[in-house]
Homo-oligomer: A and B are copies of this chain.
Amino acid sequence: MSATLTNKIEIIKATSSKINEVDFENLSFGAVFTDHLFECDYKNGEWQNPVIKPYKPFLLDPSAKVFHYGQAIFEGMKAYKDDQNAIWLFRPDENYKRFNNSAVRMAMPEVPEVIFMDGLNQLLDLDQAWVKPGAGNSMYIRPFMIATGDGVIANPSDDYKFMIILSPAKSYYSGEVKVLIAEHFSRAANGGIGAAKAAGNYAAQFYPTTLANKQGYQQVIWTDDATHTKLEEAGTMNVFFRINDTLLTAPVSERILDGITRKSLIEMAKKEGITVDVRPVLVSELVEAAQNGSLKEIFGAGTAAVVNPIIGFSYKEVYHELPKIENSFALQLKEKLTNIQHKLSEDTFGWTVKV
C-alpha cells in the first residue's frame, strides 16, 4: 500500500475500549462497531483533515443534502485474521475502484487511493484486537461517503464526508433462503444507477422485499424492469444458477452491480473446470429447468453473505423447491473462497493483501 499520507492522519485514541462488552460469539450482523472510525472531509474542492478518532455520533444540519437528495455511496469489504495474528484484506483494490465508480455516477468527488487505503489500514491496525481469527469470523468494513453540504436545492453538494467504520461479523444469513422472482417491482433502470453502490438503490428494495418476506421469501431476485424476463441480481447479492453442471450468471451491466465475490467465484469455478456461462438468464429457462430437473442449485454471492445457497424460488405464485444435492458447487466454492480469505489455503490468485 502507498504510505504517502501515513504520517498525515491524525489519530485520536478512545480513552477506553468497548471490546469487553461485546459477545463475539453472538454478533448480530452490522450492529456492533469498533472503538474508532476513519474520517476525511471534502471542502473547497479538497479532501482534508484525515483523522482516526473514537466512534461516536456526529452533527449534521437539517438541510444536509444527504437527507434530501440522497447523495450517498458505500462499499462492503472484509478483513480476516490468520493464525499468526496477521490481518488480511480481500481484493481491496476492487472495492476502491468500485467506490470511485459509484462516486462519479452520483456526482460526488473521487476519494484518493492514499486516503482510502491508508485510512483503512491504520484503522484496522489500531482496532486489530477486534478482528478475531477462526472460521466464520471476519471484520466487516464499511467505507461510505455522504453529502454534507447544506441547502434544499436539488444539485450536487459542495461538501462531503468520507468515513470508514468497522463491524465484527459472523455470517450474514442464517436459515434456509427462499427467493421470490420479481414480476412487477424493479431494482434498477436502464441508464440508471443500478451498477453503483448508491444508498438509494437499497431503500428502493425494502418495500417489495417486505412484501416477499410476508409471503415467506427472504429475498427477491430482481428482473429487468422493461420486460421482467431476465434474472438480474438479489439486491445485496449477485445470483448464480446451476443447470446440469453449468454455472450461469447474468453479465454485469448498468443495472447490475459488478460484485467482487461474483467475479472471484467465476474465476475459481473456471479453474476448477466448471463451465461458467456469463449471459442473460431468462426466468423461463429457470422455470423450465426446475420443471425438468436440470436445475441443481441457485446461490447468492456477496461480501456480506459470501456464498448463500437458495433452496427454492417462487414465480407467478408457483413455488419450485430445489432438490437436495451432493457435491454442491455453492458449498465447494464457498469453502475454497473462505479458505483463501482466512489464509488456510494458498492464494494462487493473489487476492489477499496484508494490512
B202→A191 contact, CB < 8 A? no
Selected interface stretch from A11-19, A142-150, A266-274, A338-346? A142-150
A145 shortest CB reach to chain B, Å: 9
Q: Knowing A142-B152, A206-B156 touch, does A199 contact B67 (C-beta < 8 A)?
A: yes
Please, what's the 1-or-0 string for A294-310, where 1 marks a CB less than 8 Å from any CB in chain B?
A: 00000000001000000
CB interface residues, A 56-96, toward B, < 8 Å: 57-63, 66-72, 74
Number of interface residues of A (CB under 8 A): 72
Please, what's the 1-or-0 string for A22-41, where 1 marks a CB less than 8 Å from any CB in chain B?
A: 00000011110100010000
Instruction: Chain B residues near A72: list those with CB within 8 A.
Output: 66-68, 70, 203
Residues of A bordering B, CB below 8 Å: 28-31, 33, 37, 55, 57-63, 66-72, 74, 104-107, 140, 142, 144, 146-147, 150-156, 163, 165, 167, 182, 184-193, 198-210, 225-228, 235-236, 304
User: With A154-B202, A191-B225 given, can you name 12 additional A-B contacts, CB distance below 8 Å?
Assistant: A57-B59, A57-B60, A69-B203, A70-B204, A107-B207, A152-B167, A155-B206, A185-B191, A186-B191, A200-B204, A225-B226, A226-B227
A70→B190 contact, CB < 8 A? no
Instruction: Chain B residues near A208: list those with CB within 8 A.
Output: 191
A52 shortest CB reach to chain B, Å: 13
A136 shortest CB reach to chain B, Å: 17
A190→B201 contact, CB < 8 A? no
Instruction: Chain B residues near A185: list those with CB within 8 A.
Output: 191-192
CA–CA, A212 and B320, complex, Å:
47
Instruction: Chain B residues near A206: list those with CB within 8 A.
Output: 69, 71, 106-107, 155-156
CA–CA, A57 and B228, complex, Å:
44
Instruction: Chain B residues near A66: list those with CB within 8 A.
Output: 66-67, 72, 199
Question: Which applies to chain A's interface (DSSP): helix, strand, loop or mixed?
Answer: loop
Residue among A29, A30, A184, A204 having the largest count of chain B Cβ atoms under 10 Å: A204
Cβ-neighbour of A189 out of B58, B62, B209, B225 (below 8 A) = B225
Instruction: Chain B residues near A62: list those with CB within 8 A.
Output: 33, 37, 55, 57-58, 163, 165
Please, which residue of chain B has its CB at the minimum distance from the CB of A213?
B155
What are 14 A-B interface contacts by the 8 Å CB criterion? A29-B153, A66-B66, A67-B199, A68-B72, A69-B203, A70-B204, A154-B236, A155-B209, A189-B190, A191-B228, A192-B204, A200-B200, A226-B226, A226-B227
CA–CA, A155 and B205, complex, Å:
9
Cβ-neighbour of A203 out of B70, B144, B167 (below 8 A) = B70
CA–CA, A160 and B80, complex, Å:
34
A309 shortest CB reach to chain B, Å: 19
A61 shortest CB reach to chain B, Å: 5
Q: Knowing A203-B72, A206-B107 touch, does A190 contact B226 (C-beta < 8 A)?
A: yes
A188→B189 contact, CB < 8 A? yes
Please, which residue of chain B has its CB at the minimum distance from the CB of A153?
B30
